Amino acid sequence: MATTQVETVTTGADKAKVAAAIALVIAALVGFYLLGKQGQVAQWGALVVGLVAAAGVFFTSEPGKELIAFGRDSAKEVKKVVWPTRKEAIQMTAYVFGFVVIMAIFLWLTDKTLEWVFYDLILGWKK
């Protein structure tokens, strides 16, 4: 199924909304640090309110709506995935572990063989 991509032009209003969201995040962080002497409730309250307001402004802009649509599409795709059964997952994990053990033995044997060839036969160094 072919889908056509539609490029949207970002309007000035969308740019302003994104800028406002960024400004709200910065204001939330500044408020968090400036309200240090007021107590943790005031600090965290300012941070949470600022971040929620920033998210609300961002998600009303076109990039925010695209992000929400992307999340929905991703969730639909994840539901289409055929996950392995428990038996298949255990079987594949056992294959991987078996392969790792075989490769470890092979590499150890290769290392010891090369060590023997170079140090004992060629150089004559006895350990």
Where the chain has pLDDT below 50, the residues are none
Are residues 55 and 37 part of one domain? yes
**Nearest residue to 54 via CA among 15, 10, 14, 20:** 20
- The pLDDT tens digits for 60-93 are 999 999 999 999 999 999 999 999 999 999 999 9
Q: How far apart are CA 27 and CA 20, in angstroms?
A: 10
Q: How far apart are CA 69 and CA 67, in angstroms?
A: 5
Tell me how many domains the chain contains: 2
Are residues 74 and 24 part of one domain? yes
- What is the domain range of residue 4? 1-81
Are residues 102 and 71 part of one domain? no
What is residue 36's predicted lDDT score, i.e. its pLDDT? 86
What is residue 58's predicted lDDT score, i.e. its pLDDT? 94
Are residues 99 and 125 part of one domain? yes
**Nearest residue to 48 via CA among 27, 19, 17, 76:** 27
- pTM, two decimals, is 0.56
Q: Judge residue 60's burial from the number of C-beta atoms within 10 Å of its C-beta, 0-12 exposed, 13-18 middle, 19 or more buried.
A: middle
Are residues 99 and 69 part of one domain? no
